[in-house]
Each structure stands twice: as C-alpha cells, then as structure tokens.
Amino acid sequence: MEETKEKRIELAAFIRWINEKGWSPGTSTNYSFLHPEQEDKIVISRSGIDKTYFSEDDFMEIDREGKPAKGSEGIKPSAETLIHCELYNLFPSTRYILHTHSMPGTLLSGKKEWEEAITFSGYEVLKGLPGISTHESEVELPIFANDQDMDRFRLLIRDNQNRLQTGGFLMAKHGLYAWGNSLQEAKRHLEIYEFLLTCELNLLQIR
Ligand SMILES: CSCCC(=O)C(=O)COP(=O)(O)O
Ligand SMILES: [Zn+2]
C-alpha cells in the first residue's frame, strides 16, 4: 500500500470535500483508483466508512474481480465493488471512479417519466463531458434500476456499454457514478453532472 500513499492522501482529501458538499450522507458513497504500477489491482474505499473523517488508511487493495489483495485480507471492500471492477474492464483508460448520493441525483433518478435517462440539452457546461464540443448538444445520463444484486447489476451496465460513453450514470433513487482517466477528469464529470442535476431540480421547482 505504501507506493499509493500520495494518491490515497489526495483522493481522501477530495472525498472529505465531497462530504462537505452534502453529496455523501451517512456512510454512503464509494471511490476507487487503478493501482498506478500494478494494473491488476484496484485501490478502493472500505465499506461503511463515514466520509466526514475519511483518511488515506480507509482504502484497501482488491484484484480486478473484487477479491481483497494480499495485505488487505479480512477487510470489507465497498458493497458496490463489482460496479467499479466492471467499469475498469469496460473502459480500460479509466483511472478513477467516484460515486455520490446527492439529493438532486437521488430525487431526479426516481422520477417516473425519466425511467431510462435524463436528457440535458443546451447547457454550456456540457462541453466538459467527453466528445461534446458545443452547447447545442443533447447528453443522456442513463438511469438504471437500483439493485442489491451486484452480479446482476454489473451485467446490466455491461449490456449498456454503448450508452456509457459520457462518463456517468445514475442508479434510481440511489446516486451517481462518474469516472475519468485522471482524478481531475473524473472530478470534472462528477461536478458537471451534479451541477446539471441541480439545475434540472431547480427548474422543476420554478415551473
Ligand atoms: C449506507 S448507504 C448504502 C450503501 C451505498 O449505497 C454506498 O454507496 C456505500 O456503500 P459502501 O459499502 O461503499 O460503504
Ligand atoms: Zn451507493
């Protein structure tokens, strides 16, 4: 674990910042990065940690199938570990995965008329998402039904790989996943989706 200390310190600080934004109530949310030197390993948050106090020691190492690696035996990884494993496999350039439980994401993903996706159009900030170069774009953020069965859920995202090209998806009444090729990129995707979800929620309240 020593060789990832700097990255763990950096990500832990970011996780505490996310918590301060109110995107991580209770012990919710989880985070990971691909081990920079051993790509058969993922460094992921332990399960059930209050993110207010999250530190670099609250990570553990797992293999690409979610099994605790040598040195992390007996520690419980995030309950959503298999989602992280699947995303690293589907998108090999991914280095960081971030998962939040904000109020806008939780509420809007449960809205009946948006069962499959929320579509964002006309927003300037869309240009911060992969492959988008003008505000005159429509971006669909897929919504998948929440599921406690992670084996089944990972197959669902595998089957929907073609809908996951803009670095994020929602689990209904649960939260947002966003990823990127660096912490900066993953943070950008996460912040943009959280911002857009907040815009849409505010719009509903105005109407
Ligand atoms: C208490 S929140 C329910 C689990 C969840 O959705 C989550 O994001 C946190 O799970 P973990 O096992 O990573 O702590
Ligand atoms: Zn969650």
Is 48 touching ligand 1 by the criterion CB < 6 Å?
yes
The mean predicted confidence, pLDDT, of the chain is: 97
Structure tokens at 93: 């350039």
Do the beta carbons of residue 117 and residue 142 sit within 8 Å? Answer: yes
CATH for 133: 3.40.225.10
In this predicted structure, which of 21-25, 51-55, 109-113, 154-158 has the lowest mean pLDDT? Answer: 109-113
Strands 96-100 and 175-180: antiparallel
Using alpha carbons only, give the angle 118, 81, 54 rounded to the nearest 5 degrees: 95
Residue 114 has pLDDT above 90, yes or no: no
Domain that holds residue 86: 2-206
**If 0-12 CB within 10 Å is exposed, 13-18 middle and 19+ buried, where does residue 68 land?**
middle
Task: Give 37 Cα–ligand 1 centroid separation in angstroms.
Answer: 28
Q: What pTM, to 2 d.p., does this model score? A: 0.97
Do the beta carbons of residue 84 and residue 41 sit within 8 Å? Answer: no
The average pLDDT across 179-204 equals 97
Ligand 1, atom 1, residue with closest C-alpha: 28
Residue 115 has pLDDT above 90, yes or no: no
Is 32 touching ligand 1 by the criterion CB < 6 Å?
no
Q: Is the ipTM of this complex over 0.95?
A: yes
Do the beta carbons of residue 33 and residue 183 sit within 8 Å? Answer: yes
Band of pLDDT at residue 101, cut at 50, 70 and 90:
very high
Is 30 touching ligand 1 by the criterion CB < 6 Å?
yes
Map residue 42 onto helix, strand or coil: strand
- The pLDDT score that the predictor gives to residue 113 is 77
Q: Rounded CA gap, 145 and 157, in Å?
A: 11
Q: CA quadruple 145, 86, 155, 114: dihedral positive or negative?
A: positive
Q: To the nearest whole percent, how much of the chain has pLDDT over 90?
A: 95
Ion ligand 2: protein residues whose beta carbon lies under 5 Å: 175
- The pLDDT score that the predictor gives to residue 112 is 78
Residue 188 has pLDDT above 90, yes or no: yes
Q: CA quadruple 141, 144, 150, 156: dihedral positive or negative?
A: negative
Band of pLDDT at residue 14, cut at 50, 70 and 90:
very high
| Tally of domains within the chain | 1
